[in-house]
Amino acid sequence: MDPRLEKIFKLPLYQRILILVGLMLVFAGLFVYLLYLPLCEELSGLRQKDASLQNKIQEDQRIADNLPKFKAEYEKMKVLLDDALTELPNEKEIPNLLTSITALAKENGLNVTMFKPGAERPKGFYAEVPVELKMVGSYHEVALFSDAVAKLPRIVNINNLTLASPKDEGGRILLAVNCLATTFRFIEGTPAEAGKNTGKGGKK
């Protein structure tokens, strides 16, 4: 027998029990440190991953449940967008639209003394087309002109309207009228314009 083991066996019983308990504690510590703790850490990570996956599944299920509603909302917004886009003239329509603005001014009694188109200002899929107008007429005629412009099928905004220098001509009070008429047009090559052209092509 190994002398070291023989020496241990010759020790009093309580000492042998203490050595045995010590060895058991060492083995238990090694088991906890080398096996149990790593497994606990791995289990915790798996639980977190499972919770994350469960949340994603619930979110995906919520989206799936609401998909018909989202589709209906999308179709509704698409119809509204298409309706709004029809109010924006394309490049070919701009000259006629600008001419119609001056025609409306004359039809409502205003004398157009200056008609000055400004530089276009790109704003994404559309561009602002400003026109500086100077006219002479009565307040009532200006009101009629503004109302007629608002009723145009295309969007035209009247901004920076000023009325000045009133003059009495034969009992008629005439004013110097300055304003900025702004319309909008599609920028060629945008998805909106391409979709509009495709739609037109389908009707032919």
What is the CB neighbour count within 10 angstroms for residue 184?
A: 21
Confidence of residue 143 (pLDDT cuts 50, 70, 90): very high
What is the CB neighbour count within 10 angstroms for residue 152?
A: 15
State the pLDDT at residue 191: 45
- Per the listing, tokens 């799936």 go with 64
State the pLDDT at residue 71: 80
* CATH tag, 91-191: 3.30.70.60
The answer to whether 125 and 187 are in contact (CB under 8 A) is yes
> What is the model's pTM?
0.47
pLDDT tens digits, one per residue of 11-54: 677 777 787 777 888 888 888 777 878 888 888 888 888 888 88
State the pLDDT at residue 2: 61
Please report, for the chain, the start and end positions of each structural domain, with discontinuous segments joined by +: 1-85, 91-191
